[in-house]
Structure 1
Amino acid sequence: MTSASRTIGLAAFVAAAPGSAWAGVSLSGSYQAGELGRVELSTQGERLVGRASEAGVCGLAPRSPVLEGEFQGNVLVGKLTLCLQGPSCPATDTVALVAFYSPVDHTLTAFVQPRAGCQSLMLGKSGLFLLQPASEAPAAAAPVAPARSGGSSVASLRTEKRNPEAAKEALEKGNRLLGTKDLSGSVAEFERSIFLDDHNWVAFFGLGTAHLMGGQAQDAIAALMRARALNPREPSIPYHLACAYSQLGDKRRALESLRQAVKLGFAIPESSRQDTELDRLLGSDVEYVALTNQAVENYRSPAGRRPQTGP
């Protein structure tokens, strides 16, 4: 089934998007769906049907229905047929789908979660499903390796088509929603921003922070690791990693990340409260106390960075 947080978040994104009122979305003709191959779309009223026009990785028979749904504004609510890989996984499965239609580039995007223990070559590593006009699709798509089990693979998300302006808009909206603690909405916005431009560390940092605030430590770590790869000198990133590892009870990595944050100049005012989980895990550790004191000194120092207190 579709991840509840992503589904709700995408719906919130569309509801808040300017110009999202339904204006007669009508898709038809050949579209490319990554490893699935060509899909022929037809729209009747608000109902959309997509049929496979070539075997693709799933080996589906031509004209097999793979996508069905109805538009509600610029949102397609329906179902998607996935081909699956993995032990005890069926060859195909039908999952719920909530996809966003972009009138700018005429694409449909959604984040889909296959059943537990299964992977689908139809999806990007973060569960991204992209349907775009065949005339604009890349000539050849590189095979997508199955995601490792036991954690998020957003760290390997690759942008198919960049749109920096739209990415910035989604990022700003994600930050606003995060400020109001609308975690599902902010996650959808940050993922949308990353899809449109995966070179912005702030979007990955925001996504990691939203997951961290929601108690999704593994997903938070995956996003924050990508943020760190893009900006290895930002001290707030390893601090948030320390908080995420503390949620997992991983004392060694939490302390290691905090050590790196302080070394990079992580700073907090003396009266600031530390992350609850981090303090509970490391509060009695001598090095943790020393690192916290150093963070306070960093704040007092003229060269100290602005205070960071984590999510």
Structure 2
Amino acid sequence: MELRTDGDHLVGTAPAGGPCNLSGAEQVLTGDFQDNVFVGTVTVCQSGEACELTGTYPVLLVYNIEDRVFAGRVKLEPGCGSDALGDKGLLVLRAATPEPTQGAPATPQPAERQAQVPVQIAPPSSGSAAQVAAQRREAVDVPAALKLGHQALAAKNALGATQQFQLVLAQDKNNASALTGMGVASFLRNQQGDALRYLELARNVGNLQARAEASFWMACVRLAERQPKPAQDALRRAVKEGWSPPEDNALVDRELQRLSGEGPLFEQLLKEARGRKRAQGRDPQGAGSVSP
């Protein structure tokens, strides 16, 4: 794919052929950068009984500094698939590799071809994924991005929060606050599986405070999945690890009401948590925190 930029605006053109067997070059990607995050639309070929031959979908791609690639997932219509995407709709843009040596296979295997879209080197006015990314390699202001992300969560703006947390994770994949924030953002978008995955990652890499925060949100996710016993276990773990609710946080208050309605065992745990005074300046990760 050839990428062309005009300021923060980017257009991607796929050549003829490729996984979608295009008859000629076509514009398939368009959108704008917000720091190291690309937000736009992508057009892909589709397969499936009730699917159009092509579909255009919103896409959010994040630049990974370590791997020097742009990557994100495209959520297709139910029942649709695309040879242009990898597992679970993964889209990866990376610089084209050098020409293979004689005797080496010139065509990637199907699984590899679906997992990433090679990017051709373009004229000076354009750029490959690596060239575009190189222009955006400035270090992310992690505290500022976390603050914006958690503010977006408090306003129930899941997309805006996701953009900020992904910026942080592109630079620090083990940032517990960003992982928790991604979990809560996924929860707000009813993506419970992703929410639990991010929250578990936050528990694995975070300190005691981060683990407690992640456990609280795991309780909220489990309750949304109508699993009261795992929800109760997660809430008990959060309280044991020292979690306490913040003041004046509408998102947390909403979840506290839902948890309280599940019976006396939940209410007893919440009463214990409310009895604690949250440390000065400490806000809940995933719902307003600015701490890494």
Superposed displacement of residue 115, structure 1: 1.4
Where do residues 293-308 of structure 1 align in structure 2 (5 Å cutoff)?
293-296=271-274, 299=276
Structure 2 counterpart of 1:292, one-letter code: L
TM-score by length of 1: 0.56
CA displacement at 1:68 relative to structure 2: 4.8
**What SS class does the counterpart of residue 204 from structure 1 fall into?**
helix
Is the 2:180–2:214 Cα contact (8 Å) retained in structure 1?
A: yes
Give the SS at the match of 1:95: strand
8 Å contact from structure 1 (residues 110, 128) kept in 2: yes
2:213 is aligned to 236
Q: Superposition RMSD on alpha carbons, in Å?
A: 5.0
Contact 2:74 2:90 in 1 (8 A): yes
1-structure distance, mates of 2:283, 2:32: 45
Q: Which runs of 5+ in 2 are unaligned?
A: 99-107, 116-132, 288-292
Structure 1 unaligned blocks of 5 or more: 1-38, 147-159
Q: State the match for 2:121 in structure 1.
A: none
Residue deviations 1:171-204, cap 9 Å, x none?
Answer: 3431232344433311232234334442222112
Instruction: Give the counterpart letter for 1:264 in structure 2.
Output: E
Deviations 1:254-278 (A, max 9, x none): 11111221222223599x9671211
Alignment of 1:212-227 (within 5 A): 212-213=187-188, 216-227=191-202
TM-score (norm 2): 0.59
Shift of 1:250: 1.3
Out of 278, 283, 300, which is 2:263 matched to?
283
Match of 2:127 in 1: none
Deviation track 1:65-112 (CA, whole Å, cap 9, x = no partner) reads 36254769997755422455xx6475963223456798x999766552
Which residue, out of 66, 79, 84, partners 1:117?
Answer: 79
Counterpart Cα distance in 2 of 1:252 and 1:188: 33
Q: Secondary structure at the match of 1:235?
A: helix
Q: Comparing both chains, which one has the higher relative contact order based on Cα–Cα distances under 8 Å and sequence gaps of 6 or more?
A: 2
Contact 2:10-2:33 within 8 A present in 1 as well: no
Write out per-residue CA displacement over residues 25-56 of structure 1, whole angstroms, 9 at most, x where no aligned residue. xxxxxxxxxxxxxx24567998845224774x
Report the equivalent of 1:292: 270
Question: How many residues matched?
Answer: 244
Q: Which amino acid aligns with 2:260?
A: D
Provide the rounded CA distance (Å) in 1 between the counterparts of 2:46 and 2:269: 49
Instruction: Please state how far the C-alpha of 1:251 moved relative to its aligned partner.
Output: 0.6
Q: 1:126 to 1:259 in 2, by over 3 A?
A: farther
- Percentage of identical aligned residues: 22
